[in-house]
């Protein structure tokens, strides 16, 4: 089976040649350059310029000469073989033969997500290298892998959030067909593949839209990256919105991704009557009615409105939000850290944890100390657990630390045992950060590669050190902070898979695998039987007791994060897991817990 996504943007194979299209509303003139030869690119209305050239083949290199001078790559390029400032390459997406014709995805309740960065997940740092590890991830009990952004970025090293070519998977990891082989192989193993997509900004190097489409951006909206993307412009907004909506459809159709995670949607500023996020979610649902597509948000605003379900319990727009609140609760309890946003959870972390377990968000409109006590969040207790992607670690929470420490570098292993079970056996959608399954030794550091732009590299390096100057550990010496522009920083972040065979990593991997087996056998069937509600209590200020109700029965989690023992009456419920010495979870010493299930007769 061969697949291609048809769209107005970019270069598209047509009978006998290629159709080229560029939206350039503020350019005086545009010529098409193909393999060194210039061709007219006539206006076709609404800021568009289009032409079809016969005889152009896949592999041809092309760009657009703007106002007789700058030759810019295609903003909808399918591949940039010579990085973001080079010419684009004509790609025939139908040249790849897919073998997953019967694949339509998996229910979201079955998702166990493995977030990874292609460049550091394996020694090879390629799509092929990650593909070779798919059997290991399947054996672990993972059912979905989530790739950090792939949109082409400047240089050979980047987390992916500096992308400027949203349609072009970065060439540092391989060619487009290599990515398709990875997705195809994953489907063959029953694994879903998600992609992190960035629609709130472009990176600082290699974005040429300002040269010919100034109205793609607007000063009316300001973001941490400068002028906002013009989603609501009177004349340009519709095209700008389509640029990103078509991008989502492109990844889902042409690359067969099973879902998308949208980065920092609180920074997508849109005053339209119908917000971009609503149009995006509804369009995806309408376009792929026969596939199980999962859409996830990162949203500091905790807006439950984007996660609403229909009468049948299906997401109207987006499936889930990353549950940062729950992460923050666990992190405070595990490490004692209370700086920055952790301050808003350090006052009563157990109570906040209980609310997150039962209702999703800890803050649902209450004053948020980190935001000068401005209200944060919306009521979320009516949403099912599958509306929340939960985690103890992710790329941000590890990589945004000055030294990139993982949780196993910071927390007591005994405490981490309880938190790990609390993550993997609760009915929300759990996510592991690559290497977490064996408590990997490698840090995940912040890294970029803007060479030969020495000024930009220096700005990033200095900014990173300035960011941590206020921390006591670096107040007198910021030189301890790894230089994000050095290749060694990137290399230090690569996983060492051989660790899995050595203690203590071997034991952590075995326990993670066991927990995911218990989840598959005991938790997923409950979650798929229909959610009916949840309630959490604090039988003691340092003990959380949460029960979720489903059509087929109940799931109960009791955790003692205090110093004194706690006695529990399990009633008629049976233990699924406990780390208590009695093996039954009736007597819970410090930092032990139990998961119990009870079938509905």
395 annotated as belonging to a binding site for a ligand: yes
Query: Would you call 156 helix, strand, or coil by DSSP?
Result: coil
Q: Is 266 annotated as a binding residue?
A: yes
293 C-beta neighbours (distance < 10 Å), count:
24
What angle (nearest 5°) sits at the alpha carbon of residue 226, between those of residues 222 and 232? 45
Ligand-binding annotation for 324, yes or no, is: yes
- Altogether, the residues listed in the chain come to a count of 601
Is 12 a known active-site residue?
no
CA-derived radius of gyration, the chain: 25
> Distance between CA 158 and CA 152 in Å, rounded?
10
429 and 142 Cβ atoms separated by less than 8 Å: no
> Cβ–Cβ contacts within 10 Å for residue 525, how many?
14
Q: Report long-range pairs for 214-222 (Cβ below 8 Å, ≥24 apart).
A: 214/25, 214/26, 215/25, 215/26, 216/240, 216/243, 221/269
CB 492, CB 445: distance < 8 Å: yes
Task: Please report, in angstroms and rounded to a whole number, the separation of the first and last CA atoms in the chain.
Answer: 47
- CA nearest neighbour of 442 among 470, 404, 474: 404
Dist CA 578 CA 582 (whole Å)? 9
Tokens 């920083």 sit at which residue? Answer: 489
Name 295's bridge partners: 260
Ligand-binding annotation for 582, yes or no, is no
Do 586 and 570 meet the contact criterion of CB atoms below 8 Å apart? yes
**Is 261 labelled a binding residue?**
yes
Indicate which residue of 152, 162, 298, 417 is catalytic.
298
Catalytic residue, candidates 184, 263, 279, 436 = 263
400 is in an annotated binding site: yes
Based on the residue annotation, tell me whether 298 is a catalytic residue of this protein. Answer: yes
Residue 327 labelled as part of a binding site: yes
Contacts within 8 Å (CB) and 24+ apart, 412-416: 412/334, 412/591, 413/439, 413/504, 414/591, 415/333, 415/334, 415/561, 415/591, 416/334, 416/392
Residue 311 is labelled as binding a ligand: no
586 is in an annotated binding site: no
Half-sphere exposure of 437 (CA within 13 A, CB side): 30
Residue 265 assigned as binding residue: yes
326 annotated binding-site participant: yes
Which residues are documented as binding site?
A: 261-266, 324-328, 395-400
Residues acting as catalytic residues = 263, 298
Which residues are documented as binding site for substrate?
A: 261-266, 324-328, 395-400
């Amino acid at each position: 089976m061969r697949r291609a996504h048809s769209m107005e943007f970019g270069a598209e194979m047509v009978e006998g040649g290629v159709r080229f299209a560029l939206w350039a509303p503020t350019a005086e003139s545009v010529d098409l350059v193909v393999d060194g030869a210039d061709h007219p690119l006539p206006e076709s209305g609404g800021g568009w310029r289009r032409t079809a050239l016969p005889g152009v083949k896949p592999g041809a290199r092309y760009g657009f000469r703007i106002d007789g001078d700058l030759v810019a790559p295609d903003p909808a390029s399918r591949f940039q073989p010579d990085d973001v400032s080079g010419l684009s390459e004509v790609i025939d997406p139908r040249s790849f033969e897919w073998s997953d014709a019967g694949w339509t995805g998996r229910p979201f309740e079955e998702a166990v997500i493995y977030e990874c960065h292609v460049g550091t997940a394996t020694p090879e740092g390629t799509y092929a290298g990650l593909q070779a590890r798919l059997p290991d991830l399947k054996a672990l009990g993972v059912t979905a892998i989530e790739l950090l952004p792939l949109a082409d970025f400047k240089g050979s090293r980047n987390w992916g959030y500096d992308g400027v070519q949203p349609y072009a998977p970065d060439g540092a990891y391989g060619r487009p067909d290599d990515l398709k082989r990875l997705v195809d192989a994953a489907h063959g193993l029953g694994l879903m593949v998600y992609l992190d997509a960035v629609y709130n900004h472009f990176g600082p190097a290699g974005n040429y839209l300002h040269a010919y489409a100034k109205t793609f951006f607007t000063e009316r909206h300001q973001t941490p990256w400068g002028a906002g993307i013009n989603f609501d412009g009177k004349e340009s907004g519709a095209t700008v919105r389509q640029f990103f909506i078509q991008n989502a459809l492109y990844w889902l159709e042409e690359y067969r991704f099973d879902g998308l995670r949208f980065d920092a949607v609180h920074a997508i500023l849109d005053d339209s009557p119908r917000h971009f996020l609503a149009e995006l979610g509804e369009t995806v649902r309408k376009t792929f009615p026969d596939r199980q597509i999962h859409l996830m948000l990162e949203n500091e605003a905790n807006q439950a409105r984007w996660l609403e379900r229909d009468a049948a319990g299906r997401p109207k727009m987006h499936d889930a939000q990353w549950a940062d609140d729950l992460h923050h609760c666990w992190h405070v309890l595990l490490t004692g850290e209370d700086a920055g946003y952790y301050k808003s959870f350090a006052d009563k972390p157990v109570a906040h944890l209980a609310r997150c377990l039962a209702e999703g968000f800890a803050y649902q409109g209450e004053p948020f100390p980190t935001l000068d006590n401005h209200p944060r969040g919306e009521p979320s207790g009516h949403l099912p657990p599958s509306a929340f992607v939960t985690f103890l670690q992710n790329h941000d929470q590890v990589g945004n630390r000055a030294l990139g420490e993982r949780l196993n570098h910071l927390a007591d292993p005994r405490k981490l045992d309880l938190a790990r079970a609390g993550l993997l056996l609760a009915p929300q959608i759990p996510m592991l950060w690559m290497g977490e399954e064996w408590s990997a030794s490698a840090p995940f550091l912040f890294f970029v590669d803007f060479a030969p732009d020495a000024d930009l590299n220096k700005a990033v390096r200095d900014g990173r050190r300035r960011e941590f100057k206020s921390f006591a550990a670096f107040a007198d010496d910021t030189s301890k902070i790894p230089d994000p522009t050095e290749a060694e920083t990137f290399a230090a972040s690569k996983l060492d898979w051989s660790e899995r065979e050595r203690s203590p990593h071997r034991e952590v991997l075995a326990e993670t695998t066991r927990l995911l087996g218990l989840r598959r056998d005991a938790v997923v069937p409950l979650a798929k039987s229909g959610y009916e509600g949840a309630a959490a209590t604090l039988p003691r200020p340092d003990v959380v007791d949460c029960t979720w109700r489903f059509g087929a029965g109940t799931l109960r989690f009791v955790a003692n994060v205090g110093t004194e023992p706690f006695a529990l009456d399990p009633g008629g419920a049976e233990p699924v897991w406990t780390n208590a010495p009695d093996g039954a979870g009736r007597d819970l010493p410090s930092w032990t817990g139990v998961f119990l299930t009870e079938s509905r007769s």
